[in-house]
Chains A and B, each alone.
Chain A
Amino acid sequence: MTITNEIEILLVEDNPNDVELTLRALKKNNLTNRVQVVKDGAEALEYIFANGAYAYRKVEHHPRVILLDLKLPKVDGLEVLRRIKSDERTRVIPVVVLTSSKEERDLVESYKLGANSYITKPLDFESFVKSVAELGLYWLLLNQPPR
């Protein structure tokens, strides 16, 4: 966990296996040194809004992208998304909803709340790696985030 460097990716994921597999996939694309992992929605909000354990942070120091699982302990992913997108300071952060759910209502609700992308975690590890890698490349390399 790097605290000195500016965080490029915030991964909000409670399942350690998924975290590990995701990090592995990112690592394969040389992106691991820029990932911050939080384990639940509450922590994600503390991090994003620089309070609680992350009070030393500055809200303005946005991650380049947030990979957000929907099914999270304490505060669920949709609520986190809502808070991010309803705050002037954070609404510009691209949020990619990354979940195993294929439920349509999750998708609809995510876009309604302002999710920038929605990716169903494929069961097939290869395609999972591929989509995560593509995501990382897309947001971190190809896209210029608004300043």
Chain B
Amino acid sequence: MKDQYKTKKQLIEKLEVLRNQLVGLKKAETKRKRAEEDLKVREDSLQKVIEQTPNAIWISDEHGTVIRMNQALRDLLEITDGEIIGKYNILRDVQVIKQGFLPLVKSVFEEGMTVNFVIDYYTEKEKQVELAHKTHKVLQIVLSAIKNKDGKLVNAICQHRDITERKHAEEALRLASAYNRSLIEASLDPLVTIGSDGRITDVNAATEKVTGHSRGELIGTDFMDYFSEPEKAKAGYQQVFQDGFVQDYALEIRRNDGHLTPVLYNASVYRDEQGKAIGVFAAARDITQRKRAEEAIESLARFPSENPSPVLRVKRDGTLLYANGASYMLLHDWQLEIDKPAPLALQEAASETLTQQTRKMIDTEHRQRIISFFVAPIVNAGYANFYGRDVTERRQAEEEIRNLNAELEKRVRDRTAQLEAANKELEAFSYSVSHDLRAPLRAIDGFSRVILEDYTDKLDDEGKRYLNIIESNTKKMGQLIDDLLAFSRLGRQEIRVSEMDMGKLAKSVSEELKLAVPERKLNITINTLIPAQGDQAMVRQVFVNLLSNAVKFTRPRDTAFIEITGSGEGNENVYSVKDNGVGFDMQYVNKLFGVFQRLHSSEEFEGTGVGLAIVQRIIHRHGGRVWAEGKVNEGATFYFTLPRERRE
């Protein structure tokens, strides 16, 4: 400084310079101040702009910490500067991190990018430092870097737009759409939407299945390409556009493997808000099953229609509902007409069977032919089915059998009457014989005796002998009459069946016979005899007659050996009486059992020739057989059988 004060002039000059400098400085100062003021004005106005812009904005420093925000943001998120300024940093925002926007945000601060994303601020229990911690908001965010002249990031500005409402609306729409979609997908029927150009715009899973193509393959292609008759398919949707709908439009969907599915389409147009038709919604109904059922019904329907016998159906009110071809042919006299009253006989049968809920048979006559109908009421349906059969031949055969039977019965009756008459006659005859034949004998015998008693002194011995011959012959005649009557009575007498101890029976008879001929030496062996069923009195008579014969025809023997046996053989019992008597010649065996047939003279062996005939008759009446074996002088064996189970 010492050097600066050398001259006044120099000093003045210096002073001048200094003054000038001072002025310059003052100017500069003013300029600076003005500049500063200008800046401040600019800053204030910027601040004002930011503050007043309707966009919700914050501004951060280069590290992301918010240094300023505007009223719009405060209003939007109901926040204050104190809560946010210097505290909130987007890089540490929990939702930003959670929802994966951190890399985006970083790119702004690190690379100076501008990013745009939508973040959903929902209120969580645990409060974190985040922008919208008081309210649930969905915000569209635009975050950009603010750089200086050197391109260095100095600030970041973040604009927020509230799209919460829009988001909700979108969500509702999305849900509604998903619901519709699920409805469409849930349908078992193939559903498809078609644009006005005939291209497929949407399909459901059922369509994928029936066509064999995926949804992706189908959408955008021509609807008509998937049918056996494309032109018909095209005509179909064109008709929908024209008329607004089609119903039960029959088509066949062709699957990618060639398989055809018969379907019926029901389709209608859908329109935009202006009412312009923008597409067709078409639903196909797979009628494979129905077709099959129809075919089955059709084939089943051939049973009645091809049936060569009449098949008809009649309604409860008597209307004819159905008649097959055979009905018209076989029932030609009936003039059948469908939906007209059925013939009266059928009407009555239908009504009766439906009312009583029972089946029945009816016969109708048609010029020489007889048709028998089985009537089956179908109560629920209110009609009766008639199944006819031509039974003319059978009825004729039945009639013939009836006639034959009637004739046979009449013949039997006639014959029975004749037999009864003959029987009565025979009875009367034998009755007469029994009375009238005996009376003269009684007189002959009686008066012979009177002569012998009253005139004995007037007769010589020869006279008395003659009278005795007369007497013995009358006795014999009496015996003959008795035997004959007994024999004839046998034919009429009722058989009283009981269990018979044959051994006991034979024994009692043989005891009696022994007593009758005490002078004879009889050796009668009775083996164990199988019991039988029959009329005890009659069978006893058989033993009496056979044993009497045996005793009689063994008379020439010193000792008579008689053996009785009886055992079961097959379904009959066989009994035999064997003796060591005079026997007989087998060539006369057939005469043995005839009435009054005798193989010996009465001088040799007395008898009337009725005994064996009676044996035969009794055994025959019991259903048994008799026969004999013998040899002259070597004895005889008589056999008889009795059935095991007696016929009633």
Pull 29 A–B residue pairs with CB atoms less than 8 Å apart, ordered by A: A15-B443, A17-B439, A18-B442, A18-B443, A21-B447, A21-B450, A24-B450, A70-B435, A71-B435, A71-B436, A99-B435, A100-B434, A100-B438, A100-B439, A101-B431, A101-B434, A102-B482, A103-B431, A103-B434, A104-B489, A121-B442, A123-B438, A123-B445, A123-B475, A123-B478, A124-B445, A125-B445, A125-B449, A126-B449
Residues of chain A within 8 A of B351, CB atoms compared: none
A contact set with B: CB distance below 8 Å: 15, 17-18, 21, 24, 70-71, 99-104, 121, 123-126, 128
B477 (CB) vs chain A CBs: closest residue:
A123
B448 (CB) vs chain A CBs: closest residue:
A125
Residues of chain B within 8 A of A125, CB atoms compared: 442, 445-446, 449-450
Judge whether B446 and A17 touch: CB under 8 Å.
Answer: yes
Residues of chain A within 8 A of B445, CB atoms compared: 123-125
Residues of chain B within 8 A of A100, CB atoms compared: 434-435, 438-439, 442
Using A17-B447, A24-B450, A102-B485 as known contacts, say yes or no to A128 and B434 having CB atoms under 8 A apart: no
B474 interfacial by beta-carbon distance below 8 Å: yes
Chain A CB within 10 Å — which of B443, B475, B489 has the most? B443
Judge whether A128 and B446 touch: CB under 8 Å.
Answer: yes
Mask, B469-500, CB within 8 Å of A = 1, is 00000110010001001000100000000000
| CA A10 to CA B485, docked complex, whole Å | 31
Mask, B176-209, CB within 8 Å of A = 1, is 0000000000000000000000000000000000
Residues of chain A within 8 A of B436, CB atoms compared: 71
Mask, B449-462, CB within 8 Å of A = 1, is 11000000000000
| CA A128 to CA B478, docked complex, whole Å | 14
B526, chain A: closest CB distance, angstroms: 31
| CA A144 to CA B69, docked complex, whole Å | 168
Interface of B is mostly: helix
B438 (CB) vs chain A CBs: closest residue:
A100
Residues of chain B within 8 A of A102, CB atoms compared: 434, 482, 485
B613 interfacial by beta-carbon distance below 8 Å: no
| CA A125 to CA B454, docked complex, whole Å | 14
Besides A71-B436, A124-B445, 10 new A-B residue pairs in contact (Cβ under 8 A), listed by A number: A17-B442, A17-B443, A18-B442, A21-B447, A100-B439, A103-B431, A121-B438, A123-B442, A123-B445, A125-B449
B102 interfacial by beta-carbon distance below 8 Å: no
A69 (CB) vs chain B CBs: closest residue:
B435
B115 interfacial by beta-carbon distance below 8 Å: no
Q: Contact size class for B?
A: 20 to 34
A80, chain B: closest CB distance, angstroms: 16
B441 interfacial by beta-carbon distance below 8 Å: yes
| CA A99 to CA B482, docked complex, whole Å | 15
Query: B475: which of A70, A71, A99, A124 is its contact (CB, 8 Å)?
Result: A124
| CA A103 to CA B436, docked complex, whole Å | 13
Chain A CB within 10 Å — which of B446, B450, B478, B489 has the most? B446
Judge whether B474 and A123 touch: CB under 8 Å.
Answer: yes
Residues of chain B within 8 A of A126, CB atoms compared: 449
Residues of chain B within 8 A of A121, CB atoms compared: 438, 442
Mask, B320-346, CB within 8 Å of A = 1, is 000000000000000000000000000
A24 (CB) vs chain B CBs: closest residue:
B450
Judge whether B475 and A21 touch: CB under 8 Å.
Answer: no
A77, chain B: closest CB distance, angstroms: 11
| CA A126 to CA B443, docked complex, whole Å | 12
Judge whether A101 and B443 touch: CB under 8 Å.
Answer: no
A2, chain B: closest CB distance, angstroms: 24
B631, chain A: closest CB distance, angstroms: 39
A106, chain B: closest CB distance, angstroms: 8
| CA A101 to CA B445, docked complex, whole Å | 17
Residues of chain A within 8 A of B485, CB atoms compared: 102
Mask, B131-150, CB within 8 Å of A = 1, is 00000000000000000000
A99, chain B: closest CB distance, angstroms: 7
Residues of chain A within 8 A of B442, CB atoms compared: 17-18, 21, 100, 121, 123, 125, 128
| CA A103 to CA B478, docked complex, whole Å | 15
Mask, B228-245, CB within 8 Å of A = 1, is 000000000000000000
Chain A CB within 10 Å — which of B436, B449, B450, B475 has the most? B449
A124 (CB) vs chain B CBs: closest residue:
B445
B441 (CB) vs chain A CBs: closest residue:
A123
Residues of chain A within 8 A of B474, CB atoms compared: 123
A16 (CB) vs chain B CBs: closest residue:
B443
Docked complex: B585-618 residues within 8 A CB-CB of A: none
B482 (CB) vs chain A CBs: closest residue:
A102
Residues of chain B within 8 A of A104, CB atoms compared: 489
A71 (CB) vs chain B CBs: closest residue:
B435
Mask, B415-446, CB within 8 Å of A = 1, is 00000000000000011001110110111011
Judge whether A101 and B435 touch: CB under 8 Å.
Answer: yes
B431, chain A: closest CB distance, angstroms: 6
A68, chain B: closest CB distance, angstroms: 14
A14 (CB) vs chain B CBs: closest residue:
B439
B504, chain A: closest CB distance, angstroms: 26
B437 (CB) vs chain A CBs: closest residue:
A100
B478 (CB) vs chain A CBs: closest residue:
A123
| CA A100 to CA B436, docked complex, whole Å | 8
| CA A24 to CA B438, docked complex, whole Å | 19
| CA A103 to CA B433, docked complex, whole Å | 11
Judge whether A15 and B439 touch: CB under 8 Å.
Answer: yes
Residues of chain B within 8 A of A70, CB atoms compared: 435
Docked complex: B104-119 residues within 8 A CB-CB of A: none
| CA A21 to CA B451, docked complex, whole Å | 12
Using A99-B435, A100-B434, A103-B434 as known contacts, say yes or no to A21 and B478 having CB atoms under 8 A apart: no
B479 (CB) vs chain A CBs: closest residue:
A123
| CA A128 to CA B444, docked complex, whole Å | 13
A104 (CB) vs chain B CBs: closest residue:
B489
